[in-house]
Amino acid sequence: MKKQLSILGSTALLTLTGIGIYLSQRIMHITKKDEQYVYDREVSTKRFTPPSFEALPKEEIWIPSPFGYRIKAIYSRPYPDTKKYMIFCHGVTENKINSIKYMNLFIERGFNTIIYDHRRHGQSGGKTTSYGYYEKHDLKAVVDHLLATEGEDVFFGIHGESMGAATTLLYAGMLEDRANFYIVDCPFSDFRELLAYQISSEIKLPGKWLLPLANLFVRIRDGYSLKSVSPINVIQNIQHPILFIHSEKDDYILPEMTKALYEKKKGDKMIYLAVNGIHAQSLNENREEYEKIVDEFLKKYGNTIKS
Protein backbone atom coordinates (compact mmCIF):
# COMPACT_ATOMS: atom_id res chain seq x y z
CA MET A 1 0.00 0.00 0.00
CA LYS A 2 2.80 2.40 0.91
CA LYS A 3 4.54 1.56 -2.33
CA GLN A 4 1.38 2.27 -4.30
CA LEU A 5 0.91 5.60 -2.52
CA SER A 6 4.51 6.48 -3.19
CA ILE A 7 4.06 5.70 -6.88
CA LEU A 8 0.87 7.76 -7.00
CA GLY A 9 2.61 10.63 -5.24
CA SER A 10 5.56 10.53 -7.61
CA THR A 11 3.25 10.37 -10.62
CA ALA A 12 1.24 13.36 -9.37
CA LEU A 13 4.42 15.34 -8.72
CA LEU A 14 5.77 14.57 -12.20
CA THR A 15 2.45 15.52 -13.76
CA LEU A 16 2.28 18.83 -11.90
CA THR A 17 5.91 19.54 -12.75
CA GLY A 18 5.21 18.85 -16.41
CA ILE A 19 2.19 21.14 -16.43
CA GLY A 20 4.14 23.86 -14.60
CA ILE A 21 6.99 23.70 -17.11
CA TYR A 22 4.54 23.71 -20.03
CA LEU A 23 2.61 26.74 -18.76
CA SER A 24 5.70 28.75 -17.82
CA GLN A 25 7.30 27.91 -21.17
CA ARG A 26 4.28 29.25 -23.03
CA ILE A 27 4.33 32.41 -20.92
CA MET A 28 8.05 33.10 -21.10
CA HIS A 29 8.59 32.04 -24.70
CA ILE A 30 5.32 32.92 -26.39
CA THR A 31 5.57 32.28 -30.12
CA LYS A 32 6.48 35.49 -31.92
CA LYS A 33 5.25 36.47 -35.35
CA ASP A 34 7.84 36.09 -38.07
CA GLU A 35 9.48 39.46 -38.73
CA GLN A 36 9.06 39.15 -42.49
CA TYR A 37 5.39 38.34 -41.98
CA VAL A 38 4.89 41.53 -39.93
CA TYR A 39 6.75 43.55 -42.57
CA ASP A 40 4.75 42.08 -45.46
CA ARG A 41 1.43 42.44 -43.62
CA GLU A 42 1.97 46.11 -42.87
CA VAL A 43 3.12 46.81 -46.43
CA SER A 44 0.23 44.94 -48.05
CA THR A 45 -2.32 46.85 -45.97
CA LYS A 46 -0.56 50.14 -46.79
CA ARG A 47 -0.04 50.86 -43.10
CA PHE A 48 3.70 50.89 -43.82
CA THR A 49 5.15 52.43 -46.98
CA PRO A 50 8.89 51.69 -47.10
CA PRO A 51 9.85 54.61 -49.42
CA SER A 52 8.07 57.11 -47.16
CA PHE A 53 9.66 55.59 -44.08
CA GLU A 54 13.12 55.65 -45.64
CA ALA A 55 12.65 59.30 -46.59
CA LEU A 56 12.12 60.32 -42.97
CA PRO A 57 15.08 61.89 -41.16
CA LYS A 58 15.89 59.20 -38.65
CA GLU A 59 18.59 57.57 -36.59
CA GLU A 60 18.91 53.92 -35.60
CA ILE A 61 20.37 53.50 -32.14
CA TRP A 62 21.05 50.89 -29.48
CA ILE A 63 19.96 51.70 -25.94
CA PRO A 64 21.43 49.66 -23.07
CA SER A 65 18.86 47.79 -21.00
CA PRO A 66 19.43 47.62 -17.23
CA PHE A 67 19.36 43.83 -17.69
CA GLY A 68 22.49 43.68 -19.81
CA TYR A 69 21.21 43.43 -23.39
CA ARG A 70 20.63 46.13 -26.00
CA ILE A 71 17.33 47.68 -27.11
CA LYS A 72 16.98 48.56 -30.79
CA ALA A 73 15.27 51.91 -31.32
CA ILE A 74 14.68 54.29 -34.22
CA TYR A 75 14.40 58.03 -33.67
CA SER A 76 12.57 59.99 -36.36
CA ARG A 77 13.00 63.78 -36.25
CA PRO A 78 10.99 65.44 -39.03
CA TYR A 79 10.67 68.48 -36.73
CA PRO A 80 14.21 69.14 -35.43
CA ASP A 81 13.24 72.45 -33.85
CA THR A 82 10.43 71.08 -31.70
CA LYS A 83 10.47 69.47 -28.27
CA LYS A 84 7.45 67.24 -28.99
CA TYR A 85 8.05 63.47 -28.96
CA MET A 86 6.04 60.26 -28.90
CA ILE A 87 7.37 56.87 -27.78
CA PHE A 88 5.60 53.74 -29.04
CA CYS A 89 5.42 50.34 -27.33
CA HIS A 90 4.28 47.47 -29.55
CA GLY A 91 2.30 44.41 -28.51
CA VAL A 92 3.47 40.91 -27.66
CA THR A 93 4.63 38.79 -30.66
CA GLU A 94 4.97 41.95 -32.80
CA ASN A 95 7.93 44.30 -33.37
CA LYS A 96 8.60 47.98 -34.03
CA ILE A 97 7.33 47.76 -37.63
CA ASN A 98 3.85 47.33 -36.15
CA SER A 99 4.27 50.72 -34.41
CA ILE A 100 4.79 52.61 -37.67
CA LYS A 101 1.07 53.12 -38.29
CA TYR A 102 0.80 54.91 -34.94
CA MET A 103 4.06 56.74 -35.56
CA ASN A 104 2.71 58.17 -38.83
CA LEU A 105 -0.44 59.39 -37.08
CA PHE A 106 1.60 61.45 -34.61
CA ILE A 107 4.11 62.68 -37.17
CA GLU A 108 1.10 64.17 -38.98
CA ARG A 109 0.32 65.97 -35.71
CA GLY A 110 3.75 67.54 -35.36
CA PHE A 111 5.55 65.01 -33.17
CA ASN A 112 9.00 63.53 -33.50
CA THR A 113 8.91 59.83 -32.68
CA ILE A 114 10.70 56.84 -31.19
CA ILE A 115 9.82 53.26 -32.05
CA TYR A 116 11.66 50.33 -30.49
CA ASP A 117 11.63 46.56 -30.08
CA HIS A 118 10.67 45.09 -26.71
CA ARG A 119 13.02 42.54 -25.16
CA ARG A 120 13.07 39.23 -27.03
CA HIS A 121 11.30 40.88 -29.96
CA GLY A 122 12.65 42.25 -33.21
CA GLN A 123 16.32 43.15 -32.95
CA SER A 124 16.43 43.72 -29.19
CA GLY A 125 18.10 41.29 -26.81
CA GLY A 126 16.58 39.49 -23.86
CA LYS A 127 15.64 35.83 -23.47
CA THR A 128 12.11 35.95 -22.06
CA THR A 129 8.86 37.90 -22.34
CA SER A 130 7.44 39.17 -19.04
CA TYR A 131 4.39 41.18 -20.19
CA GLY A 132 5.57 44.41 -18.64
CA TYR A 133 7.49 43.29 -15.56
CA TYR A 134 10.96 43.67 -17.11
CA GLU A 135 9.71 45.64 -20.12
CA LYS A 136 8.75 48.63 -17.96
CA HIS A 137 12.41 49.08 -17.02
CA ASP A 138 13.40 48.98 -20.69
CA LEU A 139 10.79 51.65 -21.39
CA LYS A 140 12.37 53.74 -18.64
CA ALA A 141 15.74 53.29 -20.38
CA VAL A 142 14.20 54.63 -23.61
CA VAL A 143 12.69 57.61 -21.73
CA ASP A 144 16.02 58.28 -20.01
CA HIS A 145 17.78 58.26 -23.39
CA LEU A 146 15.25 60.70 -24.84
CA LEU A 147 15.64 63.14 -21.96
CA ALA A 148 19.42 62.85 -21.96
CA THR A 149 19.48 63.52 -25.70
CA GLU A 150 16.81 66.19 -26.06
CA GLY A 151 16.80 67.80 -22.63
CA GLU A 152 14.68 67.56 -19.51
CA ASP A 153 12.19 70.11 -20.89
CA VAL A 154 11.02 67.80 -23.69
CA PHE A 155 7.25 67.32 -23.93
CA PHE A 156 6.43 63.70 -24.67
CA GLY A 157 3.72 61.10 -24.63
CA ILE A 158 3.78 57.31 -24.67
CA HIS A 159 1.49 55.15 -26.80
CA GLY A 160 1.21 51.45 -26.07
CA GLU A 161 -0.68 48.62 -27.73
CA SER A 162 -1.73 45.45 -25.84
CA MET A 163 1.33 44.30 -23.85
CA GLY A 164 2.89 47.64 -24.73
CA ALA A 165 -0.13 49.38 -23.19
CA ALA A 166 0.22 47.36 -19.98
CA THR A 167 3.96 48.12 -19.99
CA THR A 168 3.18 51.82 -20.31
CA LEU A 169 0.84 51.74 -17.31
CA LEU A 170 3.27 49.71 -15.20
CA TYR A 171 6.09 52.12 -16.05
CA ALA A 172 4.01 55.16 -15.11
CA GLY A 173 2.41 53.57 -12.05
CA MET A 174 5.43 51.80 -10.56
CA LEU A 175 8.55 53.62 -11.72
CA GLU A 176 7.87 57.23 -12.72
CA ASP A 177 4.92 59.21 -14.03
CA ARG A 178 7.25 61.22 -16.23
CA ALA A 179 5.45 61.43 -19.57
CA ASN A 180 3.05 64.31 -20.12
CA PHE A 181 0.31 61.96 -21.29
CA TYR A 182 -0.36 58.31 -22.16
CA ILE A 183 -2.46 56.54 -24.77
CA VAL A 184 -3.12 52.89 -23.98
CA ASP A 185 -4.77 50.77 -26.67
CA CYS A 186 -6.30 47.44 -25.47
CA PRO A 187 -4.34 47.01 -22.22
CA PHE A 188 -4.96 44.20 -19.75
CA SER A 189 -5.77 45.20 -16.18
CA ASP A 190 -4.26 42.18 -14.42
CA PHE A 191 -2.06 39.51 -15.99
CA ARG A 192 -3.27 36.74 -13.69
CA GLU A 193 -6.87 37.41 -14.66
CA LEU A 194 -5.94 37.52 -18.34
CA LEU A 195 -3.91 34.34 -18.08
CA ALA A 196 -6.69 32.45 -16.32
CA TYR A 197 -9.11 33.52 -19.05
CA GLN A 198 -6.75 32.55 -21.86
CA ILE A 199 -5.82 29.18 -20.33
CA SER A 200 -9.48 28.33 -20.00
CA SER A 201 -10.42 29.51 -23.50
CA GLU A 202 -7.37 28.40 -25.50
CA ILE A 203 -5.94 25.36 -23.70
CA LYS A 204 -9.31 24.20 -22.30
CA LEU A 205 -7.85 23.75 -18.80
CA PRO A 206 -9.18 25.29 -15.55
CA GLY A 207 -7.12 28.48 -15.66
CA LYS A 208 -8.00 29.75 -12.19
CA TRP A 209 -6.82 26.53 -10.54
CA LEU A 210 -3.61 26.37 -12.56
CA LEU A 211 -2.49 29.94 -11.84
CA PRO A 212 -0.59 29.06 -8.62
CA LEU A 213 1.33 26.39 -10.52
CA ALA A 214 2.12 28.74 -13.41
CA ASN A 215 3.16 31.43 -10.96
CA LEU A 216 5.49 29.08 -9.06
CA PHE A 217 7.34 28.03 -12.19
CA VAL A 218 7.56 31.57 -13.60
CA ARG A 219 9.04 32.72 -10.28
CA ILE A 220 11.59 29.89 -10.36
CA ARG A 221 12.47 30.26 -14.03
CA ASP A 222 12.14 34.03 -14.64
CA GLY A 223 12.36 35.66 -11.23
CA TYR A 224 9.04 37.47 -10.80
CA SER A 225 5.53 36.88 -9.54
CA LEU A 226 2.54 37.14 -11.84
CA LYS A 227 0.79 39.38 -9.31
CA SER A 228 3.47 42.00 -10.00
CA VAL A 229 2.08 42.43 -13.52
CA SER A 230 -1.09 44.24 -12.57
CA PRO A 231 -1.76 47.73 -14.00
CA ILE A 232 -5.05 47.94 -12.08
CA ASN A 233 -3.10 47.89 -8.80
CA VAL A 234 -0.88 50.85 -9.69
CA ILE A 235 -3.01 53.04 -11.96
CA GLN A 236 -4.04 55.24 -9.04
CA ASN A 237 -0.41 56.44 -8.94
CA ILE A 238 -0.63 57.96 -12.43
CA GLN A 239 -1.44 61.68 -12.28
CA HIS A 240 -1.01 62.63 -15.93
CA PRO A 241 -3.83 62.24 -18.49
CA ILE A 242 -4.59 58.87 -20.04
CA LEU A 243 -6.60 58.06 -23.16
CA PHE A 244 -7.96 54.50 -22.95
CA ILE A 245 -8.85 52.71 -26.20
CA HIS A 246 -10.33 49.27 -26.76
CA SER A 247 -12.33 47.42 -29.42
CA GLU A 248 -15.71 46.31 -28.14
CA LYS A 249 -15.37 42.97 -29.99
CA ASP A 250 -11.94 42.12 -28.57
CA ASP A 251 -12.03 38.52 -27.32
CA TYR A 252 -8.31 38.22 -26.55
CA ILE A 253 -8.14 40.98 -23.93
CA LEU A 254 -11.70 41.74 -22.95
CA PRO A 255 -12.81 45.41 -23.11
CA GLU A 256 -14.01 45.12 -19.52
CA MET A 257 -10.36 45.31 -18.50
CA THR A 258 -9.97 48.75 -20.04
CA LYS A 259 -13.27 49.86 -18.53
CA ALA A 260 -12.03 48.81 -15.08
CA LEU A 261 -8.78 50.70 -15.58
CA TYR A 262 -10.65 53.79 -16.72
CA GLU A 263 -12.92 53.70 -13.70
CA LYS A 264 -10.00 53.43 -11.27
CA LYS A 265 -7.85 56.12 -12.91
CA LYS A 266 -8.06 59.38 -10.95
CA GLY A 267 -7.92 62.77 -12.58
CA ASP A 268 -7.73 63.56 -16.29
CA LYS A 269 -8.82 60.74 -18.58
CA MET A 270 -10.80 59.85 -21.69
CA ILE A 271 -12.04 56.56 -23.14
CA TYR A 272 -12.89 55.39 -26.64
CA LEU A 273 -14.55 52.03 -27.29
CA ALA A 274 -14.26 51.18 -30.99
CA VAL A 275 -17.25 49.54 -32.64
CA ASN A 276 -15.30 47.61 -35.27
CA GLY A 277 -12.37 45.23 -35.09
CA ILE A 278 -11.05 42.61 -32.70
CA HIS A 279 -7.87 42.72 -30.62
CA ALA A 280 -5.51 45.63 -31.45
CA GLN A 281 -7.55 46.57 -34.51
CA SER A 282 -9.11 49.81 -33.27
CA LEU A 283 -7.01 52.05 -35.52
CA ASN A 284 -7.08 49.68 -38.48
CA GLU A 285 -10.87 49.31 -38.48
CA ASN A 286 -11.96 52.72 -37.13
CA ARG A 287 -9.35 55.13 -38.40
CA GLU A 288 -11.51 58.25 -38.69
CA GLU A 289 -12.94 57.86 -35.18
CA TYR A 290 -9.52 56.91 -33.76
CA GLU A 291 -7.91 60.03 -35.14
CA LYS A 292 -10.82 62.16 -33.93
CA ILE A 293 -10.53 60.96 -30.32
CA VAL A 294 -6.74 61.41 -30.37
CA ASP A 295 -7.22 64.99 -31.62
CA GLU A 296 -9.79 65.67 -28.90
CA PHE A 297 -7.45 64.25 -26.27
CA LEU A 298 -4.48 66.30 -27.47
CA LYS A 299 -6.59 69.45 -27.66
CA LYS A 300 -7.90 68.92 -24.15
CA TYR A 301 -4.71 67.85 -22.42
CA GLY A 302 -1.95 69.10 -24.72
CA ASN A 303 -2.16 72.79 -23.91
CA THR A 304 1.37 72.82 -22.47
CA ILE A 305 2.99 71.40 -25.60
CA LYS A 306 6.24 73.13 -26.49
CA SER A 307 6.73 73.76 -30.21
* pLDDT tens sequence across 257-287: 999 999 999 999 999 999 999 999 999 999 9
Mapping DSSP to helix (H, G, I), strand (E, B) and coil, where does residue 76 land?
strand
Q: Flag whether pLDDT at 304 surpasses 90.
A: no
In a domain, residue 11? The reply is: yes
Q: Which long-range contacts (CB under 8 A, 24 or more apart) does 12-21 make?
A: 16/213, 19/210, 19/213, 20/213, 20/214, 20/216, 20/217, 21/217
Q: How far is CA 128 from the centre of its chain?
A: 15
**What pTM did the predictor assign?**
0.94
**Contact yes or no for 234/173 (Cβ under 8 A):** yes
**Per-residue pLDDT at 216 exceeds 80:** yes
| pLDDT-derived band at 303, boundaries 50, 70, 90 | low
Q: Are residues 52 and 185 in the same domain?
A: yes
Look at residue 42 and tell me if it is in a domain. Answer: yes
Q: Is residue 7 domain-shared with residue 144, that is, in the same domain?
A: no
Using the predicted structure, report yes or no on whether residue 30 has a pLDDT greater than 80. yes
Return the SS3 of 73.
strand
Q: Are residues 180 and 249 in the same domain?
A: yes
* Mean of all residue pLDDT scores within the chain: 93
Please state, as a whole number, how many other Cβ atoms lie within 10 Å of the Cβ of residue 238.
24
Which pLDDT score is estimated for 68? 98
Tell me what pLDDT residue 242 has. Answer: 98
- Domain membership of residue 4 as a residue range: 1-30+195-224
**Percent of all residues in the chain with a pLDDT value above 90, rounded to a whole number:** 87
Would you state the pLDDT for residue 11? 63
- From the number of C-beta atoms within 10 Å of its C-beta (0-12, 13-18, 19+), residue 69 rates as middle
Distances in whole angstroms, Cα of residue 90 to Cα of each of 23, 123, 160, 234, 267 = 23, 13, 6, 21, 26
202 confidence band (pLDDT: 50, 70, 90): confident
Residue 306 falls within a domain, yes or no?
A: no
User: Which residues are bridge partners to 115 per DSSP?
Assistant: 74, 88
Task: Give dist(CA 43, CA 46) in Å, integer.
Answer: 5
Q: End of a domain among 206, 224, 242?
A: 224
pLDDT tens readout for residues 135-157: 999 999 999 999 999 999 999 99
Co-location of 186 and 257 in the same domain: yes
- φ, ψ of residue 252 to 5 degrees: the values are -100, -50
The sign of the CA dihedral 91, 95, 101, 103 is positive
pLDDT at residue number 307: 39
Given pLDDT bands bounded at 50, 70 and 90, which one contains residue 62? very high
Report if residue 38 sits inside a domain: yes
Count how many domains the chain has. 2
- Asked, for residue 75, whether it belongs to a domain, the answer is yes
Q: What is the CATH number of the domain that holds 38?
A: 3.40.50.1820
Q: Do 129 and 210 have their domain in common? A: no
| pLDDT at 2 exceeding the cut of 80 | no
What pLDDT is stored for residue 5 in this prediction? Answer: 45
Closest by Cα among 157, 63, 40, 59 to 105 = 157
Whether 184 and 275 map to the same domain: the answer is yes
Per DSSP, the three-state class of 125 is: coil
Residue 47 DSSP SS3: coil
Is the pLDDT score of 189 beyond 90? yes
Residue 297, in any domain of the structure:
yes
